[in-house]
Structure 1
């Protein structure tokens, strides 16, 4: 089958929301103090450093291994990451709302403690339904996000068959792309999300095999951050699910 020759997804750099969320969780607060709406949360200074390190990695790639196409989440933290990372190379770039982060609805800005204290029925419902199918009021389930990503992948495969494509997005997007591309089961996905760590500005990639299908090449690697002196971070923060 015709497929992309290579696909990578970069989680955005550390955001001010990541920092605020980590602080709130560690101090036992119920609410995360983030003044912006989720779509407008910017990178921290560390996040900008991380994004430049991704750019250094891309710039060091041989010409025939550089991506030709970039598709970017509309959220500011992903936009800023892409702008810095893509500076050293020439790519055709576009924004696609299907790469936006999962919408948390009523759970937005609550820590895990906050959900259990203020919305105990939702915490119980989420526990019963599980990570993949639980949809908070006003928000999305992982299954909902999967549907939009399935559509995006179909378009990429149709419009960019044989191309090298890089995405800039969010933690949940990385997990769910693995679920789709590698045809995982729900239990496998849940185990991956429990055991895996998708750090800020980590890179996950797939490469076409002899059968023309994408196969996992790297998962959430951060060696480029160590090499360039950028500080690797793994705080989930505003990308995280609070229960």
Structure 2
């Protein structure tokens, strides 16, 4: 390690030139939202009708994919298999919720069946990738929130999604904190490897927010993350830089 001498205010100081330490990070990070869930379908119907409730009695964590969502997961697996060999994920990090676990399992089996990855490739389930928790607002339609919790609806509009935390739930900022924590572990453990991350709309939004250092306004201008869409960030210049956002062409091709 080289040293140079400098003079500051008549005094001699030794300055060491240190090399920049290597940055540990995946070679390619691919993020997807789970396929369409049964709750996605029920909420679309309820919102269109202005209904105050949806026929869902299980926990949010236990909501499965719809039949269409399963088809989307198969299409994701075919897209995975068609990637250049060096870009095919060698590891999968996944939210432990049923709909994400099913998406990862189906996509992996499809890619393995096409000979793109070994069937033994492991899926790592990490609770930090779970969906945003909505507390007292969970499983409520917009109409139901306005009717049953008007003060919360007003507070939500005033504070904005990034900072609004419903009673018993999380703000987007809370989700961003656990996403940043997960990214640190992922970078350390998946250094130099392509990785697939299977999560939820808010989680993927917060991933982009963290990786690209977005402002609140830039975040709010982003479109909703679509089911089984693909977003990619490639390692370059010591950072992960976005190559694709919210792509769904592979889903249309599979119809």
TM-score, length of structure 2 as denominator length? 0.86
- Greater relative contact order, per chain length (Cα 8 Å cut-off, separation 6+): 1
Q: Any stretches of 5+ residues in structure 1 without a counterpart?
A: 230-243
Partner of 2:211: 181
Quote the Cα distance in structure 2 between the aligned partners of 1:175 and 1:59: 25
Q: Any stretches of 5+ residues in structure 2 without a counterpart?
A: 1-22
SS in 1 for 2:133: coil
Quote the Cα distance in structure 2 between the aligned partners of 1:77 and 1:170: 9
**Residue 204, structure 1, aligned to residue 245, structure 2:** no
**Residue 191, structure 1, aligned to residue 213, structure 2:** no
Listed one character per residue, the Cα deviations across residues 92-137 of structure 1 (whole Å, up to 9, x for unaligned) are 3210000000001000111111111110000111111111010000
Please, which of 64, 69, 78 is the counterpart of residue 47 of structure 1?
69
TM-score, length of structure 1 as denominator length? 0.90
Please, which of 52, 69, 85 is the counterpart of residue 63 of structure 1?
85
Quote the Cα distance in structure 2 between the aligned partners of 1:197 and 1:147: 20
Q: CA deviation at 1:185?
A: 1.0
Q: CA deviation at 1:6?
A: 0.5
Partner of 1:3: 25
Q: CA deviation at 1:183?
A: 0.7
SS in 2 for 1:74: coil
Could you say what the CA RMSD is over the residues aligned between the two structures, in angstroms?
Answer: 1.0
Quote the Cα distance in structure 1 between the aligned partners of 2:173 and 2:91: 26
Q: Which runs of structure 2 are paired with 1:91-130 in the superposition (5 Å)?
A: 91-130=121-160
Listed one character per residue, the Cα deviations across residues 6-54 of structure 1 (whole Å, up to 9, x for unaligned) are 1011110011100001000000011222121100000011000000001
Partner of 1:223: 249
Q: Which runs of structure 2 are paired with 1:158-173 in the superposition (5 Å)?
A: 158-173=188-203
Quote the Cα distance in structure 2 between the aligned partners of 1:212 and 1:181: 12
Give the conservation status (yes or no) of the 8 Å contact 1:33–1:109: no
Listed one character per residue, the Cα deviations across residues 34-84 of structure 1 (whole Å, up to 9, x for unaligned) are 121100000011000000001111112232221111001000000000000
Runs of 4+ residues deviating >4 angstroms:
none
Between structure 1 and structure 2, the one with the greater Rg is 2
Q: Which runs of structure 2 are paired with 1:125-140 in the superposition (5 Å)?
A: 125-140=155-170
SS in 1 for 2:206: helix
